[in-house]
Copies of this chain bind each other. A is one copy, B any other.
Amino acid sequence: MKSGAAAKDNSPPREGHDFRSSCSIARALDLLGDKWTLLIVRDLLWHGKHSFTALQGSAERMPTNILAQRLKKLMAWGLVRREAYQDKPVRYAYELTEAGKTLEPLLLQVMQWGHEQLRGGLYDPKTGKSRGPRAQN
């Protein structure tokens, strides 16, 4: 592993960012408020996807440029780090930092809402098992 390629772990959220307001929800959305960022967190946290190619392979088919931009942003905020596991061409393994792992309760709550209101599937991180989408009433 190339330690030089690893972002610092446990780094505090970026100082000096010009947030829209002091509201915690607005601040969280400055970082997480899009259709993709939490899917990357989901795949890193629960589904063992740690390469760019693996992350691209998820059912939602994240476009290459969006995935690259979101990973860059997550690294800049200290929520994701990467380490080179291969030279020529260089290949990186991405993983959540300790700060990134604090997103798990939020992710579980979003999943619960999507399950109850939009009939999506349910994943249990304790067992690693998924249940399919909820049946229609």
The residues of A with any CB-CB pair to B shorter than 8 Å are 12-13, 19-36, 38-39, 42, 58-61, 99, 102-103, 105-107, 109-122, 132-133, 137
The complex places the Cα of A107 from the Cα of B113 at a distance, in Å, of: 11
- Copies of this subunit: 2
Residues of B within 8 A of A58 (CB): 21
A22:B132 contact, CB within 8 angstroms: yes
Q: B21, B61, B113, B120: which contacts A106 (Cβ < 8 A)?
A: B113
The complex places the Cα of A27 from the Cα of B134 at a distance, in Å, of: 12
B27:A118 contact, CB within 8 angstroms: yes
Q: B12, B27, B60, B121: which contacts A114 (Cβ < 8 A)?
A: B27
Q: B26, B109, B112: which contacts A39 (Cβ < 8 A)?
A: B26
A113:B21 contact, CB within 8 angstroms: no
A29:B24 contact, CB within 8 angstroms: no
The complex places the Cα of A136 from the Cα of B116 at a distance, in Å, of: 38
